[in-house]
Structure 1
Amino acid sequence: MKAKMIRLTALFVLLSSVCSVKAQEKMNVLKLKSPKDLHDLFRYTGNDIILISGHRGGMVPGFPENSIATFENTLRHTPAFFEIDPRLTKDSVIVLLHDATLDRTTTGKGKLSDYTFEELNQFRLKDAEGNVTKYSIPTLTETIDWARGKTVLNLDHKDVPLQMTADLLRKHNADAFMMLTVHSSSEAKFYLADNKDRMFSAFIRNKKEFEDYENSGIPFSQLIAYIGPLVKPENLELYRLLHKKGTMCMISSASSYDKLKDPEERKGAYVSIAKDGASILETDMPIEAAEAIRDFQKAGKSKQKFFGRK
Structure 2
Amino acid sequence: MKKNLIFKLAFVFNLYFTGLLSARAQDVLNVLKINSAKELHNFFTFTGNDILIIAGHRGGMVKGFPENSVATFENTLKHTPAFFEIDPRLTKDSVIVLMHDATLERTTTGTGKVSDYTYAELLKFRLKDAEGNVTDYSIPTLSEVIEWARGKTILNLDHKDVPLEMTAAIIRKHHADAFVMLTVHHPEQALFYLKNDKRSMFSAFIRNRKEYDDYVKAGVPFSQLIAYIGPQVKPENKELYDLLHQKGAMCMISAASSYDKLKSADERKAAYVNMAKDGASIIESDYPIETAEALKDLINRKSPKSRFFGKSGSN
TM bucket by the smaller chain? Answer: over 0.9
Equivalent position to 1:240, from 242, 260, 265: 242
Instruction: Describe the superposition over 1:11-38 as per-residue Cα deviations: whole angstroms up to 9, x where unpaired.
Output: 9898767644432320011111110010
Indicate the residue corresponding to 2:134 in structure 1. Answer: 132
Cα offset, 1:304, TM superposition: 1.7
Cα offset, 1:10, TM superposition: 11
Q: CA RMSD in A?
A: 1.9
Instruction: Describe the superposition over 1:181-234 as per-residue Cα deviations: whole angstroms up to 9, x where unpaired.
Output: 000000000000111000000000011111111111110000000000001111
Instruction: Describe the superposition over 1:60-114 as per-residue Cα deviations: whole angstroms up to 9, x where unpaired.
Output: 0000000000000000000000000000000000000000000000000001110
1 CA distance for matches of 2:90 and 2:62? 26
Indicate the residue corresponding to 1:67 in structure 2. Answer: 69
SS of the residue corresponding to residue 202 of structure 2 reads strand
**Pairwise mapping of residues 92-171 of structure 1 onto structure 2 (< 5 A)?**
92-171=94-173
**Pairwise mapping of residues 221-300 of structure 1 onto structure 2 (< 5 A)?**
221-300=223-302
Conserved 8 A contact 1:53-1:81: yes
Structure 1 length-normalised TM: 0.95
Q: 1:13 to 1:296 in 2, by over 3 A?
A: farther
The one-letter amino acid paired with 1:104 is: R
Equivalent position to 2:86, from 84, 87, 98: 84
1 CA distance for matches of 2:60 and 2:160? 19
SS of the residue corresponding to residue 252 of structure 2 reads strand
The one-letter amino acid paired with 2:104 is: L
Indicate the residue corresponding to 2:5 in structure 1. Answer: none
Residue correspondences, number: 306
Instruction: Describe the superposition over 1:225-269 as per-residue Cα deviations: whole angstroms up to 9, x where unpaired.
Output: 000000111111110000011100000000000011111001111
Cα offset, 1:300, TM superposition: 4.7
Q: 1:234 to 1:115 in 2, by over 3 A?
A: same
Ranges in structure 1 where 5+ consecutive residues have no aligned partner: 1-6
Structure 2 length-normalised TM: 0.93
Of residues 150-159 and 15-24 in structure 1, the stretch that sits farther from structure 2 once superposed is 15-24
Conserved 8 A contact 1:47-1:299: no
Aligned sequence identity (%):
68
1 CA distance for matches of 2:280 and 2:60? 19
The one-letter amino acid paired with 1:69 is: A
Ranges in structure 2 where 5+ consecutive residues have no aligned partner: 1-7
SS of the residue corresponding to residue 224 of structure 1 reads strand
Indicate the residue corresponding to 1:32 in structure 2. Answer: 34
Indicate the residue corresponding to 1:187 in structure 2. Answer: 189
2 CA distance for matches of 1:112 and 1:300? 46
2 CA distance for matches of 1:18 and 1:257? 40
1 CA distance for matches of 2:243 and 2:104? 41
1 CA distance for matches of 2:197 and 2:210? 26
Conserved 8 A contact 1:54-1:81: yes
Of residues 185-194 and 291-300 in structure 1, the stretch that sits farther from structure 2 once superposed is 291-300
Conserved 8 A contact 2:64-2:135: yes
